[in-house]
Structure 1
Amino acid sequence: MITVLQMARLPNIKVATVLLCCAFVYDIFWVFLSPLIFKDSVMIAVARGDNSGGESIPMLLRIPRVFDPWDGYDMIGFGDILFPGLLVSFAFRYDKANKKGILSGYFLWLIIGYGFGLFFTYLGLYLMNGHGQPALLYLVPCTLGVAVLLGLVRGELKHLWSYGTESPSLRETSGEI
């Protein structure tokens, strides 16, 4: 996952919005809507390894439950880390390129938003009695939503949206090179 985050780079918030919104819909469909079609949540069945002798695909992390007498675990998919992680790494590069401080930048706020998203995911698991939750349902609003709201409040959303797409002559005159 670290290698993917180092190599894959989002150029701007426009691409992040499309990617995260598609992953958001995909996650919700396969967890909540697929049971209406296939009689079972496909994503949960695949993650648990149902119908494969208990073997699960190596695309998730299993996190042990601390106070569970049955030694159960929660699962988080790699996509739940990678998709918001691409946005967080974009925020880090954006802050660095635009000489933003830790509080005036986006990186810290997106890390905090990701933490809240994970908290809401596990709260949803608890409130739904352990029924699988699409983590991106909580992580996308808590990361992309924070970036967009901060951009709006700071008047930088237009720059975040088109960041990296201006022609070199425009960047030279605006002092961005």
Structure 2
Amino acid sequence: MNASSNPSGHNRMLTVAEVCGDDADVLALSVARFVASGYMTSDVACWDAAFDGAERLLGCSEGGRLVSGMVGIMRTLRAEREGDWQFMPATCCRVTAHECALVALIGRGRRRLWDEVGRDAAAITGRTEAPRLVAAVRDAVETINAAARQLGEARPSGTALH
């Protein structure tokens, strides 16, 4: 895992608002960033921050499930991916190319486009296939979709998390 400002080949980094389709995507990305920071620094406070934020928005049970799902995805990325993973700090409004690919992968899983998830997971990991990453996305998407419903009900119209 690697903190980065701008992956090569991009003149302008996209924003969270441009990449994330809803508040659940924003929360999942934020949690992924906290988890990646925890792996990079070996500081449990990063993981605590992921739980604190998710639990504040979704409650203890649902927040914990969302963090667990994202930990599964990030752990699998560490195991299956060839090369570094570039990410931004949890509260940053910009998104790396790697984060864009992750949000798109999760989005395809949320829409149950499993053939595309398989192809994208392989591309993200740099392998011909990435069955563990596909399984981790499958495990996480129902919780992310439940979070979307909950966040959609709880937030006033026209407001966003990021």
TM-score greater than 0.5 by the shorter chain: no
Q: What is the TM-score normalised by the length of structure 1? A: 0.29
Q: Find the structure with the greater CA-based Rg.
A: 1
Q: Higher helix share goes to which structure?
A: 2
Return the structure number with greater relative CO, CA threshold 8 A, min gap 6. 2
